[in-house]
Amino acid sequence: MFRDRSILITGGTGSFGRVLARTLLRNHDPRRLVIFSRDELKQYEMRAEFGDDPRMRFFIGDVRDRERLERAFDGIELVVHAAAMKQVPAAEYNPFEAIKTNVFGAENVINAAIDRGVHRVIALSTDKAANPINLYGATKLCSDKLFVAGNSYAGENGCRFAVVRYGNVVGSRGSVVPFFRKQRETGIVPVTDDRMTRFWITLEQGVQFVVRCFDWMRGGEIFVPKIPSMKILDLAEAIAPDCDTINVGIRPGEKLHETLIGEDDARRTLEFGDHYVLVPEFSWWDGEGAKAGRPLPDGFSYRSDNNERWLSVDELRQMSEKL
């Protein structure tokens, strides 16, 4: 899928983009890998980190700027859309900015991909897009809907779009892990609510899942990996075992538990060995390639509090120590 292909990553200087870029260059030998982002300092740092690899290109630009996207997409075959405004409190306080990046930016990526003849696009989503209660989740739900609908706009022989949705990423920017490490020095670790649970996935696991989804996709699917849950108190114990914890209250727009597949979505979801697929409701989508999937039972939901797999304190400690 990736060998000798031209690939572009929006938000390519972020945590996910760096790991994806390293994986593609090391294991898949693309002809050209374009890093598209708006931060020149991060691009400078990434260029220094990766060295003078002749396959890499760095493009300054913002997904809000359709003309710049169209220039960057020239000759591109595969796109991973990772650019987003994703901090929940920042989106609550700056709602118009979140909408411009996460919703209008998604529309720009879709239109530019269709107009420039891109073959396939995978957009990254979040558990917060399922039954959203905050603006970030709502904008990502809108983005998911746009990418699914983009297949109809592209036509039968055009670009194909799909979405990958998963939970909190260990070690990504804004992760709770470095915050807990810093608070460890004070002897007190604040948690918003000691009942809180979250889905948990590593950057490497997320990257590998996205890579596989390029092979699986036919257009319009939302792919959801089966990943473990963790309790916030277990994470605090793993990182700061000798510290006291205090409840500071749930922040605006924050959930007690996260959802990856709600009950209503489950009616159009198929289960596979290590993932789920929310199938599109298109007349042309015949389900070829998804025949091995199993329908989910009535009332099914995939939430961080009803998950079958949980990370132990020791597992969380091992994961955090690798960061």
pLDDT in tens, 172-197: 766 788 888 888 889 999 998 999 99
Residue 77 counted as domain residue: yes
From 276, 23, 39, select the one nearest 173 (Cα to Cα): 39
Residue 69 covered by a domain: yes
| CATH code assigned at 74 | 3.40.50.720
Predicted confidence at residue 12, as pLDDT, reads 97
Is the residue at 155 inside a domain? yes
- Give the model's pLDDT for residue 176: 84
Joined together, the tokens standing for residue 22 give 């390293």
Alpha helices in 172-309 (DSSP H): 176-183, 203-216, 232-239, 263-266
pLDDT, tens digit, 9 for 90 and up, residues 5-52: 999 999 999 999 999 999 999 999 999 999 999 999 999 999 999 998
Q: Does some domain include residue 212?
A: yes
- The pLDDT assigned to 183 comes to 87
Residues 130-164: pLDDT tens digits?
Answer: 999 999 999 999 999 999 999 999 987 789 999 99
**Predicted confidence (pLDDT) per residue in 207-232, tens digit:** 999 999 999 999 999 999 999 999 99
Q: Is residue 49, in this structure, part of any structural domain at all?
A: yes
Dist CA 62 CA 213 (whole Å): 25
User: How many independent structural domains does the chain possess?
Assistant: 1
Global pTM? 0.95
Q: How far apart are CA 103 and CA 116, in angstroms?
A: 20
Q: What are the tens digits of pLDDT across the range 242-251?
A: 899 999 988 8
Tokens of 212: 């596989």
Instruction: State the residue range of the domain holding 14.
Output: 6-168+199-227+260-303
Positions marked catalytic: 128
For residue 258, the model assigns a pLDDT of 95
Q: Is residue 152 part of a domain?
A: yes
User: Sorting pLDDT into bands at 50, 70 and 90, what band is 289?
Assistant: low
Region of 26 please: left (phi>0), alpha (psi -120 to 50) or beta: alpha
In angstroms, the CA 268 to CA 277 distance is 8
Render 104-136 in DSSP notation, one character per residue.
Answer: IHHHHHHHHHHHTT--EEEEE--GGGSS--SHH
182 in a structural domain: no
Percent of the chain with pLDDT over 70: 97
pLDDT category at 288 given cuts 50, 70, 90 is low
